[in-house]
């Protein structure tokens, strides 16, 4: 189900890059609109959140941490059960 996003208990490289790029672009757009306006503030905060998720997932990959390891194990177990039923 999440194989296109998660590999070896972490986000795939293209997902990490996507989060970083979208986050940085959103922060820049929020600053260009103006942080004083509501829309600019929303873009800035959402962009900061996206960039943080991308950055933290890149650090987790560098340190070989696996934040999604349990999810991956559960998905494997479900696949094995599904294959066993067929």
10 Å Cβ neighbour count for 62? 9
User: Contact at 8 Å (CB) between 7 and 75?
Assistant: no
What is the DSSP-derived secondary structure letter of residue 12?
-
Q: Predicted confidence band at 72 (pLDDT cuts at 50, 70, 90)? A: low
Alpha-carbon gap, residue 4 to 12, rounded angstroms? 8
pLDDT at residue 26, as a whole number: 95
Return the sign of the alpha-carbon dihedral for residues 34, 40, 43, 44: positive
- 10-68 pLDDT, tens digit per residue, is 888 899 899 999 999 999 999 999 888 999 999 999 999 999 998 888 888 888 887 77
């Amino acid at each position: 189900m999440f194989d296109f996003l998660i590999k070896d208990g972490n986000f795939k490289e293209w997902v990490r890059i996507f989060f970083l790029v979208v986050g940085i672009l959103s922060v820049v757009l929020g600053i260009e609109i103006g942080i004083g306006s509501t829309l600019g503030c929303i873009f800035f905060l959402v962009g900061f959140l996206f960039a943080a998720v991308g950055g933290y997932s890149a650090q987790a990959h560098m340190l070989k941490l696996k934040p999604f390891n349990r999810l991956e194990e559960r998905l494997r177990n479900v696949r094995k059960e599904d294959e066993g039923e067929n």
